[in-house]
Amino acid sequence: MSRRLLGLTLVLPALAVIAFLFILPLIMSAVGAFQVDGAFGWGNFEKTFDLYTKDIVFTVVIVSISTVLIGIASIAIGGYLTLGEHPVAVAILRWLYRWPMFIPFIVVGQILRTFLSKNGMMNNVAINLGLLTPIDAVSFLDWRGIVIAFVWKQTPFVALLVAGAMASINRETIDAARNLGASRLRVLIEIVVPQVGTTLTVGLILSFVTMMSVLSVPLMINAQTPTMLTADIAFRVNSYGDYGVANALGLISLLLASSVAWIYLRASLKERS
Amino acid sequence: MTMHKREWPTVVALAPVLLLVLAPFAWLIVSSLKSEIEIGQADPLSLPANLMWRNYQDAWQIGGFSELIGNSFLNLAGVVALTLLTCTPAGYALSKIRFPGREWLFYAFILGLTIPIQAIVIPLYEVLTALGLVNSLSGIVLAQVSNGIPFGIFLMRSFFTNVPDELVEAAKVDGATHLQILTKVFLPISTPAVQALIIISALSTWNDFFLPLVVLISPQVQTLPLGLVRFAGTYSSEYRLVFSGTVISFLPIILLYILTQRRFTEGLTQGAIKG
């Protein structure tokens, strides 16, 4: 069997599933987004931007803030696991930080809905400690709740990848910098982080796309407007049976996610060439 | 010793982070063992006077968790098996067999990583309806496999790329075909990556809410996340049931984590996912 035929044969099962259940629906979604009453046009997009511009901006801002915070937290965790000198603290952090990764988004939403509400645990603890009076307690069940949920859930995944990449860095360069008097923060920022840039980018892009696709968290934590695009899609379909606008919203989500992924792809191609 | 003393400010700074990770878990588990009156007292730092294990018994029976967990396990088994069968050979071919268009094919798969599920969910429902697969576990399995293939191929190809080409050449000299090289040489040394793929695939399937919400309509075929939402919605004022039901829903996956955390970490960090 020729190499080309063999290669394609091994790829074929995956390709067939993707073509039929991923690419075909994607094409149908694109066609559906441009279809208005049997004709092609921009009607669904005009309606989408009329009704949901705020939500598009809200989604981009929420996911971007979360991505930045996840990046910072992952570097901090990975950095401490790599450069930390207190073995017990390193061991505790290593054991603990991955837990939220295994909790479903739906459970995260359920936990945080009661945890962050006006009379939830967070405010109750602050009141019991005398840090807050009951009248000053505010609910975090808005954009802040979504960001907290995303950062809580996604940081471990990126931190795991980043910590793995940091662990494989040549220790000699780190030790040399430390011997020359560089602080750990400086070593982290100037030596360690640049060497794990690709892994960090991959992790953050995967997290960005994952957060763009989450329905349960915005539904459970922030049901009011503005909300995220996934909640809007569910609303258009369930309440109006409006598949045209729902497809348009889906296509806009795709463009947002793809534009971020393009950064990785461009960097990856540049590296290879 | 001096080093350790200098470390304490960092350790103290990490404490709130650890608290933030643990507090929601601890609060949920403690609350799930309280009576409805104790939960109503809104004192999050108090412990239950008597451990109310009955909450779990009630939630299990009322919520029909045995059926939900059974459906979730069937769903998970199907997705994991098909993901392995499709991603492992594809990852090998895209990494070790040189054929025209290989790079572009890989980038086409990678493009799948960037597609949010909401962009395709409505037509996907139409395709599954046309195939008669809506409201069936086989329908959701196929949909989730297609969603997981891009990451699976990415993971396996990354791992295989780090295996020296000399290994393939040596096996070829010994007369092995590519299929034999994959099954007898590469698979045995790829255990960490395969295990990581199994765990990630199991995790995302177990936790998936969006696709089952669209594909699985009748309660008889629904998986755990859907059942939990239905249960929490119906008994929203009975916190003891909602809390214990929530704990039941993530216990199996936490168990999986405890049993597999070392292998999972190895698979994701030993050569896999380096871009």
Residue B42 has what pLDDT?
Answer: 64
Q: Does B149 fall in a domain?
A: yes
Q: DSSP labels for A19-40?
A: IIIIIHHHHHHHHHHHEETTEE
Whether B269 maps to a domain, the answer reads: no
- B220 and B84 housed in the same domain: yes
**Are B245 and B63 a contacting pair, CB within 8 Å?**
yes
Q: Is the peptide bond before A226 cis (omega within 30 degrees of 0)?
A: yes
Q: Does A125 touch chain B (CB under 8 A)?
A: yes
Which residues of chain B have a CB within 8 Å of the CB of A166? none
Nearest-Cα distance to chain A for B19, in Å, is: 10
Of A14 and B196, which is predicted with more confidence?
A14
Rounded CA separation A268/A193 (Å): 17
Q: Is B239 domain-assigned?
A: no
| Chain A CA closest to residue B43 | A124
The answer to whether residue B22 neighbours chain A at the CB level (below 8 Å) is yes
Question: B109-112: long-range contacts (C-beta < 8 A, 24 or more apart)?
Answer: B109/A14, B109/A18, B109/B149, B109/B150, B109/B153, B109/B154, B110/A261, B110/A265, B110/B150, B110/B154, B111/A258, B111/A261, B111/B150, B112/A18, B112/A22, B112/B149, B112/B150
What integer pLDDT is reported at residue B7 of this predicted model?
63
pLDDT tens-digit map of B246-265: 899 888 888 887 787 777 77
Distance of CA B49 to the CA centre of its chain: 36
How far is the C-alpha of A261 from the C-alpha of A255, rounded, in Å? Answer: 10
Overall average pLDDT of the A45-59 stretch: 95
Which helix (H) or strand (E) segment holds residue A170: the answer is none
Higher pLDDT, A2 or A36: A36
Tell me what pLDDT residue B108 has: 86
Q: How many A-B residue pairs are in contact by the CB < 8 A criterion?
A: 277
- The minimal CB distance from A11 to the residues B90, B113, B229 is found for B90
Partner residue facing A106 (CB), from B8, B42, B225: B225
B228 vs A266, higher pLDDT: B228
For the domain that residue B143 is a member of, what is the CATH number? 1.10.3720.10
Judgement on whether residues B53 and B73 belong to the same structural domain of the protein: no
Q: What is the complex's ipTM, to 2 decimals? A: 0.81
Rounding to the nearest 10 degrees, give the CA dihedral for residues B148, B150, B152, B158: -160
C-alpha dihedral sign at A235, A237, A243, A248 = positive
Domains of chain A by start residue, with CATH: 47-104+149-272 (1.10.3720.10)
Report the domain count for chain B. 2
Both B19 and B93 in one domain: the answer is no
Q: Is A99 on the interface with B (CB under 8 A)?
A: yes
Q: Which one of A2, A11, A55 would you mutate to disrupt binding with B, by most B Cβ within 10 Å of its Cβ?
A: A11
What are A86's two structure tokens? 């207190």
Q: Are residues B83 and B50 in the same domain?
A: no
Verify that B35 and B98 share a domain, yes or no: no
Report the residue from A17, A103, A163 with minimal CB separation from B145: A17
Q: Is B109 in CB contact (< 8 Å) with chain A?
A: yes
Q: Is B262 within the bounds of a domain?
A: no
Residue A200 pLDDT level (bands cut at 50, 70, 90): very high
Beta bridge partners of B39: none
Give the per-residue pLDDT at B275: 47
Would you state the pLDDT for residue A1? 66
Tell me whether residue B12 is exposed, middle or buried, using C-beta atoms within 10 angstroms of its C-beta: 0 to 12, 13 to 18, 19 or more. Answer: exposed
- Looking at residue B270, its pLDDT comes to 60
Same domain, B84 and B12: no
In terms of pLDDT, which residue wins out, A54 or A270? A54
Amino acid identity, position A227: T
Residue in chain A lying closest to B157 (CA): A11
Domain presence at residue B258: no
User: What is the rounded distance in angstroms from the CA atom of residue B192 to the CA atom of residue B246?
Assistant: 31
Same domain, B93 and B164: yes
Residues B14 and B118 in one domain: no
The gap from C-alpha B57 to its chain's centroid, in whole angstroms, comes to 26
- pLDDT, tens digit only, all 275 positions of chain B: 455 556 676 667 677 777 777 777 788 889 899 998 888 776 767 788 889 999 999 999 999 999 999 999 999 999 999 999 999 999 999 999 988 889 889 988 888 888 888 889 889 999 999 999 999 999 999 999 999 999 999 889 988 988 888 888 899 898 888 889 998 999 888 888 898 899 889 988 988 988 998 899 888 999 999 998 889 888 878 888 988 998 998 888 888 877 877 777 776 666 545 54
In sequence order, what DSSP letters do the residues of B208-268 get, joined into one string? --HHHHHH--SGGG--HHHHHHHHHHHTTT-HHHHHHHHHHHHHHHHHHHHHHHHHHHHHH
Does A89 touch chain B if contact means CB atoms closer than 8 Å?
yes
pLDDT for residue A63 is more than 70? yes
Q: What is the pLDDT of residue A12?
A: 94
Claim to verify: residue B121 and residue B196 sit in the same structural domain: yes
Interface of A with B in 217-256 (CB under 8 A): 229-230, 233, 237, 243, 246-247, 249-251, 253-254
Is the residue at B252 inside a domain?
Answer: no
Interface contact B263, partner A, CB < 8 A: no
Identify which of A22, A89, A261 has the shortest CB distance to residue B14: A89
Q: Return the HEC string of B16-75.
A: HHHHHHHHHHHHHHHHHCCCHHHHHCCCCCCCCCCCCCHHHHHHHHHHCHHHHHHHHHHH
Report chain A residues whose CB lies below 8 A from the CB of B87: 14
* Residues of chain A with C-beta less than 8 angstroms from the C-beta of B8: 86
- CB neighbour list of residue B167: distance below 8 Å, 6 or more residues apart: B185
Residue B272: predicted pLDDT? 47
Q: Which residue of B has its CA nearest to A210?
A: B116
- Confirm if A4 and A15 have CB atoms less than 8 A apart: no
Instruction: Give percent of chain A above pLDDT 70.
Output: 96
pLDDT at B116: 87
Q: What is the pLDDT of residues B199-227, one digit of tens each?
A: 889 988 988 988 998 899 888 999 999 99
Looking at beta carbons, which residues of chain A come within 8 Å of B257?
98-99, 102
Q: Tell me, yes or no, whether B97 and B188 share the same domain.
A: yes
Residue B39 lies in a domain: yes
The H-or-E segment that residue A122 falls in is helix A121-128
Chain A interface, mutation test: which of B6, B117, B118, B266, most A Cβ atoms within 10 Å?
Answer: B118
Chain B residues close to A101, C-beta within 8 Å: 203
Please tell me whether residues B115 and B182 are part of one structural domain: yes
Mean pLDDT in chain A?
Answer: 88
Contact B45 A128 (CB under 8 A): yes
Its domain, for residue B22, covers 8-57
* Bigger pLDDT: A124 vs A176: A176
Contact A14 B254 (CB under 8 A): no
Q: Is B38 part of any domain?
A: yes
Q: How far is CA B107 from the centre of its chain?
A: 24
Contact check, Cβ <8 Å, B11/A86:
yes
DSSP element (H, E) containing A64:
helix A43-83
Asked whether residue B69 falls in the same domain as residue B190, the answer is yes
Residue with the bigger pLDDT between A188 and A84: it is: A188
Degrees (nearest 5) of the Cα angle B262, B265, B266?
85
C-alpha–C-alpha distance, residues B122 and A237, integer Å: 9
